[in-house]
Structure 1
């Protein structure tokens, strides 16, 4: 992600000539800048001034650096610069000339070497950093050279761009090797703080230079691009001056940023001529070659180039360090916020027990609030603007990349990072080790943002940058900005091509830096779906009651179909136990039992729904109170115990429900509701002044008068069965709902959960208690990693405290 940079006008002292600046002005500033670059190397969003030397292979880049530094660097067939070489040139303050060398990422001290050993030692350290083969790797080597008559300058030399690969370079794939080197060059020269020194041989057509093409892409106005034409002494044809002039005009590079140089000759190297003498001989030859050059068109010679690089470096450092400081300050806040959100290791068992009890109590209190309806909506739903202007980092580690890429991995080929939050919004990386698109073997990387249900979010503008590292080496970085709307996933497919992904092995790390620029909320009120447990249980009760009501409607009991069914039953039992002509006394009971045969099934469904809702809500609250990354073992233990409690209560409730269903077999009630209902229906039928319900429409008094005794008994039986069904239904629903709430809600939450969880958690011995509260290994590693980065940034800020751009002399160019 690119920060929005606002360059402030520096109110430095009076303008001065560069020549009047002393080493006391320049060296401390360069040393400070180098240290800041070193300390912020792992922060992609922080950049300070650096001069990056790029060029196509065999264009004289190494020879140029040798001429500037006065030392010999590794030479030979193919790519010799396989890793970035941070070349720190300093004039010695003593009579000694020497060099210090180390791998930049190493914590060990730099090795002191003599100048004549530099070539062999750089070669040796390159093998240590990049391996025994010829592959290139983004593992910088720092080489600090102290010698007489040396300009104070820091350069970063990158591998030469080539399309020809050896067998042990990128699998022998020249195109892949070129892409790899170009990617490295792009990462170093993309930041606006980078100065790009393009090295191009006088022997080639400048327009074919891959490094120049990349520079023109990333710096189209040419404000930070230098062109150095090398090997001018080998250009036998006339017209080199016109060639350089044409390049200046067509490429839009300012003439003061273009230089023509002659590399050191073989005899000069062999005789180990002093740097001053080499440059004097160079200028004698250059003045002869370019005698017709117009004054001020472009620069000549190594000394002029070196002075200009020092000048540009000084000015750029003065210009960029204030902004770098602001970026570091912002990054410190982000890292500190991320560290604060991560759990700490607790070594004291007493503190661990207290912490566990506190977490359990908080969980149970939240559950009670959910039952009471006291949970604050303010706490449940975050302010949509709470994450504006904030940022976070995500990281996903794949320890065995080859294994993750296998076709038979199934769902394991899709991996997720740890979920992180800004306010109530969650952010997560989704990695497809093998995608399902047209390029099915490529790698896809996506950013998932989840918005809480009911959160009035309309749009979220997010900037994010994703990178992939293989064994610490950066493979690819992609950046973009998107307008997020609900249920969208952003990312790249492919993020890594099939060929490149197949060549990678070992540990892969995928990172994302996310910055929330703007959040827009809905103007209209919206219905919140994320209701509390009490509301969910109320819905389940209403649904249960509705299902019971739908079994047999009032119309059903007075329908022709039911009447015929009763008549059939009466005929079938005629002559049985009972007085002559009467209905068998057990017949209504048989009919009622038949009518309620589905009650047990509906009761089980309701019981299961309440169980699932309570367990799911309780587990969610537990996970919210105890983060998995903070105390994974405690969470696992309590989650199991919580599940066991609800499972046990479910069994108790099942037995209780079976008893309630069994009670209804008695067909008994001391409640007068049954007779009241019977009397009310008869009054509705025979009272001319009352409004008759629609389900009694067919039972008008005139029709009943002309019925036979058997038919009238049938009507009485309909009324009595209907009245008892209403009584039983009311009693059954009340008993089921009350017992369910008692066994699955009240008893677990108020009486059982807290005691059970405290007992299982706090019964451990001291050693086990500390282990139980230990953070997740990934969280510990991430905290250590973030603390290490934070420490470096704090050190960088401390160094910058002594830097005051307002007192630095401004150079008069």
Structure 2
């Protein structure tokens, strides 16, 4: 039953969400009215058919009382909403994303969920942020993206439909108009009654076409202090004398027609969705049965539990640890060994680049500048022990920084790969999923111990080199001997040349 309810809420309930300023059109309770932005937050109004009338304020899960009944006899609903608006959005004219949710149970309503959104504000007024237009547009987009929702584009009859931006927004997510209904309000203020009729009929190419059509209504003005029932009577009397009721039919005019059209859309969508709903339930039922079949048998004795536990440990070691940590014989590229090998290659290139920088002109100039500070205290053109130790220490520090990054990256990558393998193995093994946190703790503790040990060992080697720099590197020794021989030959040449010059001068 829970599966059916969850699927119902996911697939069917959104079909009842009617979007964008359906304020006093369908609401069986009084809502605040006024100029400018009256709605500054998403107002969710859930209509539920019931034997008696009740109005509730629904709170989120963090509230102690999730469902608070409102006494309409003692409580002014519009004023209550205005006070809650101030608590939620403050005294300014800004908009917020928090939701106020009301549930109305009544014998005369249909099961529908209305979402009243702030109107589109093009220019900020006093107390509004500069990006009020972007805020309202983005908030509306969040709700009309739901594929199962029906969008109500509400606009007054005395406004050119070509300038109504709500239709432009609706076309972004409903380009074919299959889930958009146009609602024309203030029909008594229409400057061109014939154009109103033509829009309802949609039989001309120069009017907007929607698959769900248009409905014209006459809602109460701010000056009319009458009940909803009286407003419906006045609306019916108005359209009885209006040409739209004759030309387009009563199914295109009046609040009742709008409600009937929404109910028809809802009914058609439910008929369309129920076969898919049955398939979804059957698929979920199959998954549940598969999960139940994977559960281990009931273990009655400690010996049986130990045996199953050991089997699970072996499975973890063979399927996760060995499979992903040890070298692969089938040349797979997803193993940890392969991934770490690429990291070591990158580290080797970095170290090679650092070594090449030692012979760059810039580095040689740096050494020369440092040697000038010791002029007179040391032999010319020979590095002193202090200068050598300073430069060796600097380069060893750079080497350690790269090495430490490599150590941390390798162990982190190893743990990430193990997590992925663990998650994949737990999908079809509920028992392993129950024990996986225990195995993870043991594995993480072991990996941390090894990481610290590797860091300490390598750091100790670096500190040892920094303490007393020396080298037996063959490349360095060969280069040093070669340079020494070149200098020696040069000296011998100079000595010979000087001797010949002396004898020539004497003779």
Q: TM-score w.r.t. structure 2 length?
A: 0.58
2:215 to 241, 249, 259: 259
SS at match of 2:127: coil
| CA distance in structure 1 between the aligned counterparts of 2:278 and 2:123, rounded to whole angstroms | 38
1:290 to 243, 253, 258: 243
Tell which has more relative contact order, 1 or 2 (C-alpha 8 A, sep 6+): 1
Which residue in the other structure is 1:222 paired with? 177
Q: Cα 1:309–1:642, aligned 2, differ >3 Å: closer, same or farther?
A: same
Which residue in the other structure is 1:622 paired with? 411
Q: Cα 1:243–1:624, aligned 2, differ >3 Å: closer, same or farther?
A: same
Q: Cα 1:88–1:382, aligned 2, differ >3 Å: closer, same or farther?
A: same
Which residue in the other structure is 2:57 paired with? 101
CA contact (8 A) 1:241 1:293 kept: no
Instruction: Measure how far apart 1:72 and its partner are.
Output: 0.9
CA contact (8 A) 2:17 2:113 kept: yes
1:169 aligns with 2:128: yes
CA contact (8 A) 1:48 1:324 kept: no
Deviations 1:1-41 (A, max 9, x none): xxxxxxxxxxxxxxxxxxxxxxxxxxxxx99789549xxxx
Q: How does 1:402-417 map to 2 (within 5 A)?
A: none
Instruction: Measure how far apart 1:166 and its partner are.
Output: 2.8
Instruction: Measure how far apart 1:266 and its partner are.
Output: 6.9
Q: Cα 1:242–1:121, aligned 2, differ >3 Å: closer, same or farther?
A: same
SS at match of 1:251: coil
Instruction: Measure how far apart 1:100 and its partner are.
Output: 0.9
Instruction: Measure how far apart 1:294 and its partner are.
Output: 2.9
SS at match of 1:293: helix
Deviations 1:567-590 (A, max 9, x none): xxxxxxxxxxxxxxxxxxxxxxxx
Deviations 1:262-318 (A, max 9, x none): 213679743x36x3x643442232121126733559611111111211221233345
Instruction: Measure how far apart 1:147 and its partner are.
Output: 2.4
2:68 to 107, 111, 124: 111
CA contact (8 A) 2:250 2:257 kept: no
Which residue in the other structure is 2:17 paired with? 51
Q: Cα 1:613–1:300, aligned 2, differ >3 Å: closer, same or farther?
A: closer
2:49 to 88, 91, 105: 91
1:196 aligns with 2:196: no
Query: What do you get for the CA RMSD once the two structures are aligned?
Result: 5.4
| CA distance in structure 2 between the aligned counterparts of 1:237 and 1:313, rounded to whole angstroms | 32
Q: Cα 1:122–1:105, aligned 2, differ >3 Å: closer, same or farther?
A: farther
| CA distance in structure 2 between the aligned counterparts of 1:618 and 1:159, rounded to whole angstroms | 54
Which residue in the other structure is 2:100 paired with? 141
Instruction: Measure how far apart 1:245 and its partner are.
Output: 4.2
1:303 to 256, 262, 266: 256
CA contact (8 A) 1:33 1:48 kept: no
Deviations 1:127-158 (A, max 9, x none): 23323322111212111112232222111111
Instruction: Measure how far apart 1:382 and its partner are.
Output: 1.4
Which residue in the other structure is 2:37 paired with? 79
Q: Cα 1:103–1:318, aligned 2, differ >3 Å: closer, same or farther?
A: farther
Instruction: Measure how far apart 1:191 and its partner are.
Output: 3.0
Deviations 1:651-697 (A, max 9, x none): 55678995979xxx9xxxxxxxxxxxxxxxxxxxxxxxxxxxxxxxx
Q: TM-score w.r.t. structure 1 length?
A: 0.38
Which residue in the other structure is 2:369 paired with? none
Greater fraction of residues in strand: 1
CA contact (8 A) 2:57 2:67 kept: yes
SS at match of 1:49: helix
Deviations 1:81-129 (A, max 9, x none): 11111111123323xx221113557544122112353212222222233
Which residue in the other structure is 2:504 paired with? none
| CA distance in structure 2 between the aligned counterparts of 1:238 and 1:536, rounded to whole angstroms | 81
Which residue in the other structure is 1:647 paired with? 459
Deviations 1:201-248 (A, max 9, x none): 111111111112222343222111101111112336542544524766
| CA distance in structure 2 between the aligned counterparts of 1:605 and 1:110, rounded to whole angstroms | 68
Which residue in the other structure is 1:584 paired with? none
CA contact (8 A) 1:258 1:298 kept: no
| CA distance in structure 2 between the aligned counterparts of 1:266 and 1:611, rounded to whole angstroms | 76
Instruction: Measure how far apart 1:644 and its partner are.
Output: 3.3
| CA distance in structure 2 between the aligned counterparts of 1:216 and 1:379, rounded to whole angstroms | 51
| CA distance in structure 2 between the aligned counterparts of 1:31 and 1:124, rounded to whole angstroms | 35
| CA distance in structure 2 between the aligned counterparts of 1:659 and 1:85, rounded to whole angstroms | 77
| CA distance in structure 2 between the aligned counterparts of 1:34 and 1:127, rounded to whole angstroms | 35
SS at match of 1:196: strand
| CA distance in structure 1 between the aligned counterparts of 2:61 and 2:279, rounded to whole angstroms | 22
| CA distance in structure 1 between the aligned counterparts of 2:471 and 2:122, rounded to whole angstroms | 83
SS at match of 1:135: coil
Q: Cα 1:242–1:47, aligned 2, differ >3 Å: closer, same or farther?
A: closer
CA contact (8 A) 1:100 1:144 kept: yes
Unaligned runs of 5+ residues in structure 2 are 288-312, 360-388, 420-439, 478-507
Which residue in the other structure is 1:62 paired with? 23
Q: Cα 1:652–1:316, aligned 2, differ >3 Å: closer, same or farther?
A: same
Which residue in the other structure is 2:305 paired with? none
Which residue in the other structure is 1:755 paired with? none
| CA distance in structure 1 between the aligned counterparts of 2:47 and 2:37, rounded to whole angstroms | 23
Greater fraction of residues in helix: 2
Q: Cα 1:126–1:105, aligned 2, differ >3 Å: closer, same or farther?
A: farther
| CA distance in structure 1 between the aligned counterparts of 2:6 and 2:267, rounded to whole angstroms | 11
SS at match of 2:247: coil
